[in-house]
Amino acid sequence: MDTPLSDAETASRIVDEAQRLYHDLARELNQALTKLRNGIDDPEAKSRAETIRAHRKALQTILDIQAKFVTQAEEGSSGYELDLEAARREINRRLDRLAALKRD
């Protein structure tokens, strides 16, 4: 059975990977929005919905793991603190930026 520390290490790696995926998808979506704004034909436009679904899944993974960390911290099974509020603010800031790009 995994110890809380190994669970935390695993969860941390998953969060890191999900965040990298989130950044990659956000960059790809920004590039697609730029093409649309500039009237550039984008042959991959139809596959964009899949990218958006992957983007949402990555974000949901991050939020799920953060919830697990909160539960562990409340139960006292973790010997460290995570700044979930800072992470939440960062995620919201990025989502707001994507929404603003979409409106433009």
Contact 25/58 with Cβ under 8 angstroms?
yes
Closest CA to 96 of 65, 104, 78: 104
Q: What is the dihedral of CA 70, 75, 77, 80, to 10 degrees?
A: 50
Give the predicted TM-score (pTM) of the model: 0.43
Residue 39 has pLDDT above 80, yes or no: yes
pLDDT digits (tens, 9 = 90+) for 54-86: 777 878 887 888 788 777 767 765 555 667 788
* Rounded average pLDDT over 34-45: 80
Query: Average pLDDT of the chain?
Result: 76
Rounded-to-integer distance, Cα 69 and Cα 94, Å = 22
pLDDT digits (tens, 9 = 90+) for 1-16: 444 546 667 777 777 8
Alpha helices in 38-83 (DSSP H): 48-75
Rounded-to-integer distance, Cα 47 and Cα 90, Å = 27
